[in-house]
Amino acid sequence: MNIFTEYTQVFVFAVVAIIFTLVAVAIAYILSPRTQGKKTFATYECGIEPFGSAWIRYSVHYYIYALIFIAFDVDVLYLFPVALSYTRAARSYEFYSLLIFILILGLAIAYAWGKGVFTWKRRVQ
């Protein structure tokens, strides 16, 4: 087989993806308003006057949520190839290993929940 015939679908898919991206960016550029107000270059253009310094301390809960999200997001990404392997002949040890993996994920969520990680503690000022 010729390498060009093997990867023709991949090449066509890549070209179509690039075309869709460029068309979406071009349409957004054409339709976007070109006006600039006095607050266009402000840090936050949301209609509220900024007050205080931007250098404030954030609670560690933001970072804990971010780390938990990244950890479980990576674990869920592992599940997609495993689910695709079930389209072929699935063996029982694959199924049980997947169950053990999901059980460990569930235990991690239960442990974090028990430790109170998912409860948001508000500071009263």
Chain centroid to CA 5: 34
Which pLDDT does position 51 carry in this prediction? 72
Residues 6+ apart with CB under 8 A from 85: 94
DSSP 46: S
- pTM across the whole model: 0.44
Which pLDDT does position 20 carry in this prediction? 97
Q: Residue 23: is its pLDDT beyond 90?
A: yes
- Residue 17, amino acid: A
8 sits in which H/E element: helix 8-31
Query: What is the residue-averaged pLDDT of the chain?
Result: 79
Longest dimension (CA), the chain: 71
- The span from the first CA to the last CA of the chain, in angstroms, equals 71
Which pLDDT does position 44 carry in this prediction? 64
* pLDDT tens digits, 62-81: 787 788 888 888 878 877 77
CA–CA separation, 91 vs 82, rounded Å?
12
| Fold of the CATH domain 3-114 | Methane Monooxygenase Hydroxylase; Chain G, domain 1 (1.20.58)
Q: Residue 61: is its pLDDT beyond 80?
A: no
| Mean pLDDT within 21-50 | 79
